[in-house]
Amino acid sequence: MLTKFKKNKKITIRSLQVHAAHACNLSCSSCNAFSQFKLKGLLEPSTLTKWLGDWEPRLNVKKICLLGGEPTLNPKLVELLGVFFKFFPRDSTQKVLFTNGFFLLKHNGLERALREFRIELRLTVHSAHPTYLERIKPIIEECQRWREVSFLVYNGSGKKIPGIKFREEKWTKRYHESSDQITPFTDNNPRASWEVCPSKYSMQLHEGRLWKCPMITYLRLVDPALRQDPSWEPYLRYQGIGSDCSDEELLDFSLKEDEAICGMCPQEKISFSKGYPLRK
């Protein structure tokens, strides 16, 4: 069992994720947040404050992550990290910023904010292409010099990066993509899909509601012209849960493992290469 009532009645959530920006500067295929499709939307610090104000009194969050899309596309990144710290000042909540790193050094005061707000920095490498590695390497080297900032590089590119220590990551396919359409898997085995799902503990906070995972949350933001397959319809009806829910409904939501919506995902891990993700 992953979540449970504690004595103070707060419900424990393993991981809660918030998008600072839905768009991404990269164009990786099979992104679990559909961010390669130029989604729109930046999170305001006042909006994040409202959402966390509604939920924090009811949740014991073990880990909260700011990501996207690419969160560094949001000019108010440092302020958003401050909101994380305001609501979760103790280390009992792990606070993490995920980024591909390209715009990381453009944010004044970020290094200090990461240190003061006790935010961990996780940089994901999305390609082994020499041009990509050449651009990202100096940024990684600069972050490695930041003192008292927890910094890790995750590399799913399948190729070693000389001089950089990293954790290996494996990328798997999330849906089918043709030149102008995305379509869901039709394996019809929600339990098996959930078992192998890399996002199964990635609850989202979006529009003030809690959602099971990135895919079911951000599918609705994809241009309808790109998701014309009627098989998406039941998944687009999913609404997550709002903060006006009862404690019982919240507990039920937090305990759910596989459910019907997991039918849109593959029932086994399908490894793949993202190709060259730098946009022209």
Q: Does 33 bind ligand SF4 (CB under 6 A)?
A: no
114 or 262: whose CB is closer to ligand SF4? 262
- Provide, rounded to whole angstroms, the least separation between the CB of residue 198 and ligand SF4: 8
Polymer length of the chain: 280
Q: Does 149 bind ligand SF4 (CB under 6 A)?
A: no
C-alpha angle 245/198/59, rounded to 5°?
30
- Provide, rounded to whole angstroms, the least separation between the CB of residue 40 and ligand SF4: 22
Q: Does 199 bind ligand SF4 (CB under 6 A)?
A: yes
Number of residues that bind ligand SF4 (CB under 6 A): 13
For residue 7, CA distances in Å to 63, 147, 152, 215, 277 come to: 20, 38, 35, 33, 47
- Provide, rounded to whole angstroms, the least separation between the CB of residue 212 and ligand SF4: 5
β-pair type (94-99, 63-68): parallel
- Provide, rounded to whole angstroms, the least separation between the CB of residue 189 and ligand SF4: 10
Q: For residues 275 and 29, is the Cβ–Cβ distance under 8 A?
A: yes
Query: What is the residue whose two structure tokens read 């990269």?
Result: 26
- Provide, rounded to whole angstroms, the least separation between the CB of residue 82 and ligand SF4: 30
Query: Which residue among 11, 66, 125, 197 contacts ligand SF4 (CB under 6 A)?
Result: 197
Task: Estimate to the nearest angstrom the gap between the alpha carbon of 8 and the chain centroid.
Answer: 28
For residue 102, CA distances in Å to 23, 169, 223 come to: 14, 19, 26
Site for ligand SF4 in 201-230 (CB under 6 A): 212-213, 215-216
As a whole number of angstroms, the distance between CA 139 and CA 144 comes to 9
Q: For residues 134 and 145, is the Cβ–Cβ distance under 8 A?
A: no
Q: Does 200 bind ligand SF4 (CB under 6 A)?
A: yes
Q: Does 261 bind ligand SF4 (CB under 6 A)?
A: yes
61 or 197: whose CB is closer to ligand SF4? 197
Q: Which two tokens stand for residue 213?
A: 């995972």
Query: Which residue among 28, 110, 182, 262 contacts ligand SF4 (CB under 6 A)?
Result: 262
50 or 269: whose CB is closer to ligand SF4? 269
Query: Which residue among 15, 124, 193, 204 contacts ligand SF4 (CB under 6 A)?
Result: 193
Closest CA to 86 of 108, 58, 64: 64
Rounded to the nearest 10 degrees, what angle do helices 77-87 and 45-55 cross at? 20
Piece of 49-57, 113-121, 258-266, 268-276 that binds ligand SF4 (CB under 6 A): 258-266
Task: Estimate to the nearest angstrom the gap between the alpha carbon of 256 and the chain centroid.
Answer: 19
Report CA Rg, the chain. Answer: 19
Piece of 123-131, 140-148, 220-228, 256-264 that binds ligand SF4 (CB under 6 A): 256-264
Q: Which residues bind ligand SF4 (CB under 6 A)?
A: 193-194, 197, 199-200, 212-213, 215-216, 261-262, 264-265
